[in-house]
Structure formats: C-alpha cells, structure tokens
A and B are shown apart, each in its own frame.
Chain A
Amino acid sequence: MKLVTAIIQPHRTDEVRAALEAAGVKGVTVSEAAGYGRQKGHTEVYRGAEYTVDLVPKTRLEVLVDDADAATVTEAIVSAAQTGKIGDGKVWTVPVDDVARVRTGEHGADAL
C-alpha cells in the first residue's frame, strides 16, 4: 500500500477531488496547510507599510491506495491540479506498512 500526499493550490481542490473520484479512489483526507516553495511569500501593504507574508495557504490531500494504483492516482492529481504557474504544489508517495479500519478491525488491503 502507498500513501499519496499532495500539496496543491486551494482553488484546485474541487477539480482534484473530482479527478480522484473518477479514478476510483474511495476516500481522501483534506486539510488546510501553509508553506512556501519556489513561489515564496507575497507582500501586503497596510497604510503604506509593506509586510511580507512568508507562508502561502495551500490544501493538503492524503490518499491511501493499493501499490498498483499509486501511479494512476498521482497522475490524476497532477493533471487536475496543474495551472502551469509557480506555486502549483507537489505530490509524493511513500510506502505504508499497514492500515486498519477502525469500524471493523480489518487490516491491510481490505481496509482501503
């Protein structure tokens, strides 16, 4: 099993969720995140005084998938989230030892 984590532009969240659904993904965890990459922060001006805001708001998506589906899911996220501008985000995959479904106590692939 794999954990696919994506940091994307918040305004692409709906498109990415639709793409994941189309790819057959049954569940996703979405959270608000903040950070910066090559995009860096932005400046805000209050009464002429400039403030640099270092951390840019992002959306973080986490999806648990079968090993075989990881590449498909990654591609689905990338194509749905892409705008071509700096700040689009990143997607990465890490191996997962075990997953348990709390309601039933199932383990492994059955719990996905």
Chain B
Amino acid sequence: MDSGNIAWLLISASLVLLMTPGLAFFYGGMSRGKSVLNMMMMSFGAMAVGVLAWITFGFSIASGDTMNNIIGNPLTDFGLQSTMESGDALGIITAGFGATFAIITVALISGSVADRMKFGSWLVFAFLWVILVYSPVAHWVWGTGTNGEGFDALLGAGGPLFGDVAGPYDFAGGTVVHINAGVAGLVMALLLGVRKGFGKEPMRPHNLPFVMLGAALLWFGWFGFNAGSAYAADGFAATAWVNTTVATAIAILGWLLVEKIRDGKATSLGAASGVVSGLVAITPACASVDAFGAAIIGLLAGALSALAVGLKYKFGYDDSLDVVGVHLVSGLWGTLAIGLLANGTINGDAGLFYGGGITLFGVQAAAAGITMVYSAIATLIIGLAIKYTIGLRVSEEVEVSGIDLAEHGETAYEEAK
C-alpha cells in the first residue's frame, strides 16, 4: 500500500469537496439579496443528490466495466459494494474522489438558472444529470483509469482519424466538467427563459466580498481537482499545481486588462471571475504544458471570458451568472490549447507550437465537439421531461417577491431586494 499517494488522494478529495460550498459563496454573492439562499442551496442540494446519484449508478457508469467504450456497465458496482469490500485503499478513495467531481460539475450549472428554478425540480435535475450526462462523459474521458478506453479507443491511438496521437488529453476535466456544465447551463437558461426584467433593470451582485471569498475557496480546492487528478503525489501532481497557480494568476490580469480598456475600471468581480476562468482553462491542460504555456492559457482565458460574458445580452439568453461565458468558453479554450501548447517532454504528444502536428488539436476539438453535442441533447431531454411533469420555473409572483421566502421559507436579510 502506497500511503503517500493515498494520503494525497484523501486530501485532494477533501479539497474538491470544499469547492462546492466555495461555489455557493461565489454564486451566492453574485445573485440578488432576495435569492441568495436559493442560490447557495442549489450547491448544497447538488452535494446531497450528487452523492446519491454517484453511489447508485453514476460511479458504475463512469468507471465500471466498459460497454463498447460508450458507458460503464451501470450494474457494475451498485452502492459501491464491491469497491468498499475490496479493501483497496486507492480504489476506495478514488470512488470518493469521483463523487466530489460529479457534485461540483452539476453545481456549476446552477449559475445559469438563478432566481427562478423550483428547488425540487433542481434536485431531480441534478440527480438525473449526474447519472445520465456527467457519468457517461466521465467514462469517455477517464474510463476505468487505464489508457485505451472511452475517447482513447474511439478517437485516438491507431484509429482512422487521429491515429498518430494517443488520444484526447483532458487531465482534470475540461470536457467532462467545464464544457459539459457550460453547455448544460446554456440549455437550461434557454429552457427556463429570461428573468423578469432581464436586460432592463439592474440585477447587480448583492455581496461582492462573498464572491471574492468563493473565488478563494475555489482556487484552494482546485489544487485537489487538478493536482489530485494525478492519482499520486508525483511529478504530474507537482506540474499540475504549478500550472494551476500560474494560469490562474495570469488570468486575473487578462480579465482586468479587458475591463480596464473596455469599461475604464478594474473590478473585484472581474478579478474573482478571472480566477475562475483561469482555473477552468488550465484544468484539462495542467499536466501537459509548461509554465509558459500555462501563462498563455491563463491570459487568454481571462480575456476571452471577460469578452464572452457580454454575449448573453446580444443573444438574449439569461445565463444569469455566466456559466457559458466562463466555463464553456474557458473550458473550450483550455481543451483546444493543449493541441497548440502541449509540451511533449512533459506529457506524451506535443502541440502545434511545440513541434507536434495539427493532429493533436484535431483530436482535442473532436472530444470537445462530441461532449458539446451529447451534453446539449441529453440535458435538453432531462430538462423537457421535468418541464412537462413537475415544472421548472417558479411563478412570476414568487420571482418578484423573492425565491428564498417562497421556496425555503427564509430570507437572508431583513430587507432583501
């Protein structure tokens, strides 16, 4: 038993679990005072049903015996029974580590449905989404943890299209976590429709210090996410840690530069958002690039996401807290950037600017594209099923008076607007 690696995974899983309450603060501060509790409850609710979804079928679909590289057999390990009885410490904590990823991924989506989704419907959505959307994509990206399954078998190594690279690289979840959640957020924002007053009346963040606190907790937890994805306390973990820090720091600069030029001021909300966009973009690439590559990824992640958050006003979808602008855009950028900036000396295939061909970029784009299409269709089906059974959206009266009181019987503040 390798106690060093197991200790690191125990800590990593705990760090990633902390990200979801951190996200609750990040999102809660950005919402309005009359709906902050509901916003935070969507994250805590994701923890509740995410774990249930994971131990029933999610873990088996993600990591069970592969069925033609499409999904793991859903009946492989119901209730984690055989994993728990195995006595294999690394295997057991790996199952727990996976649960924390499923939770944070579905919680990310809640930013697009702020102020207006029934809480019960959110819980049903989160449960189904983990099983039907997150877990299959996790199987494609990571399989059972051995190379050659899922995307590797479908797209890479010896296949007809991209045979000369090993397969798409996604170290910690650019596709399965961020692109996946970003597309799902867009679909749910479209299904729910805009909030009353969207684009007309101010919906300013009610507590920016909460947003900064949330960004800090997310950054700290993200070390478990990225460096923990090495599944060992080794060189990949150390590389991921450094790249995560470099990209995130530079992403703050990228976001603030755009703000300074476009709006005239560097804002605290911009700095906190820059943190998250950098973390998102480096997630898939954190074990593939050097610090220089991480800096480029961070700079462009901050700048691209700072520009992308304005798109919702142009196209008229109410992605309330910018799940699309931050997670989809920076997730896509980070996933594609591997094809350009991967350093072959550090990990496997090299990107275009590091002496590799264009093939790696192609396989990265293919993995991103498949994830987007699947996520869009599967999320749409789940969303429509809920919409036409128990309903998705609260009444207009509830939305105006505040979802906290109507859905939870509480208010965060004495007078919340």
The interface-forming segment of A4-12, A46-54, A81-89 is A46-54
Tier of interface size on chain A: 10 to 19
The 8 Å CB contact of A46, one of B262, B264, B269, B325, is: B269
Complex: how many Å from CA A39 to CA B190? 40
Partner of B273 from A44, A47, A49, A51 at Cβ < 8 Å: A47
At the interface, yes or no: B414 with Cβ under 8 Å from chain A? Answer: no
Q: State the CA gap A50–B202 with chains docked (Å).
A: 8
> Is B267 a contact partner of A46 (Cβ separation < 8 A)?
yes
CA distance A51 to B198 in the complex (A): 12
Contact B310 A46 (CB under 8 A): no
Do residues B269 and A49 form an inter-chain contact, with CB atoms below 8 A? no
A51-B204 in contact (CB<8A): yes
At the interface, yes or no: A45 with Cβ under 8 Å from chain B? yes
Residue in A closest to B326 when the chains form the complex, CB atoms:
A47
Query: Chain B contact residues (Cβ within 8 angstroms of A): what range?
Result: 10 to 19
* B263 located at the interface, meaning its Cβ lies under 8 Å from any Cβ of chain A in the complex: yes
Contact B310 A45 (CB under 8 A): no
Asked whether, in the complex, the Cβ of A46 is within 8 Å of the Cβ of B204, the reply is yes
Interface contact A48-B263, CB-CB below 8 Å: yes
Across-interface contacts of A49 in B (CB, < 8 A): 310, 313
Residue-wise, chain B 308-322 has the 8 Å CB interface mask toward A (1 for contact) of 011001000000001
Q: Does B265 sit at the interface, judged by CB under 8 A?
A: yes
A73 CB to closest chain B CB, in angstroms? 34
A4 to chain B, nearest CB (A): 31
User: Which residues of A in the span 7-61 have a Cβ within 8 Å of any Cβ on B?
Assistant: 44-53
Neighbouring B residues of A50 by C-beta, 8 Å: 263
Contacts known (A45-B263, A45-B265); A51 close to B202, Cβ less than 8 A: yes
Chain B residues with CB below 8 A from A46, complex form = 204-205, 267, 269
Closest to A53 in B: B202
How far does the alpha carbon of A49 sit from the alpha carbon of B325 in the complex, in Å?
Answer: 13
B306 CB within 8 Å of chain A? yes
Chain B residue at minimum C-beta to C-beta distance from A50: B263
The answer to whether A47 and B204 have CB atoms under 8 Å apart is no
Alpha-carbon distance between A51 and B264 when the two chains are bound, in angstroms: 14
Give B306's nearest chain A residue, CB to CB.
A48
Max chain B CB contacts within 10 Å: which of A45, A46, A47, A51?
A: A47
* B269 lies within 8 A of A47 (CB): yes
Please name the residue on chain B nearest to A49 by beta carbon. B313
Cβ A48 vs Cβ B204 within 8 A: no
Q: Give the CA-CA distance A44 to B259 in the complex, in Å.
A: 12
Which residues of B from 258 to 278 have beta carbons under 8 Å from A? 259, 262-265, 267, 269-270, 273
Chain A residues with CB below 8 A from B264, complex form: 45
A20 vs B309: C-alpha distance when bound (angstroms): 50
Which residues B155-206 have CB closer than 8 A to chain A? 202, 204-205
Q: What CA separation (Å) do A45 and B256 show in the bound complex?
A: 13
* A87 → B minimal CB distance (Å): 20
Contact B309 A47 (CB under 8 A): yes
B259 CB → nearest A CB, Å: 8
A60 to B49, CA, bound (A): 52
A20 to B191, CA, bound (A): 61
> Which of the listed residues B202, B205, B259 has the most CB atoms from chain A within 10 Å of its own CB?
B202
Chain B residue at minimum C-beta to C-beta distance from A45: B263
CB contacts (< 8 Å) of A52 on chain B: these are 202
Q: Which residues of B contact A45 (CB under 8 A)?
A: 259, 263-265, 267
Nearest 8 CB-CB pairs, A to B?
A: A51-B202, A45-B263, A47-B309, A48-B310, A51-B204, A46-B204, A46-B269, A48-B309
Q: A45-B267, A46-B204, A46-B267 given. 15 additional CB < 8 A pairs?
A: A45-B259, A45-B264, A46-B205, A47-B269, A47-B309, A47-B310, A47-B322, A48-B262, A48-B263, A48-B306, A48-B310, A49-B310, A51-B202, A52-B202, A53-B202
A-B contact pairs, 29 of them (CB 8 A): A44-B204, A45-B263, A45-B264, A45-B265, A45-B267, A46-B204, A46-B205, A46-B267, A46-B269, A47-B269, A47-B270, A47-B273, A47-B306, A47-B309, A47-B322, A47-B325, A48-B259, A48-B262, A48-B263, A48-B306, A48-B309, A48-B310, A49-B310, A49-B313, A50-B263, A51-B202, A51-B204, A52-B202, A53-B202
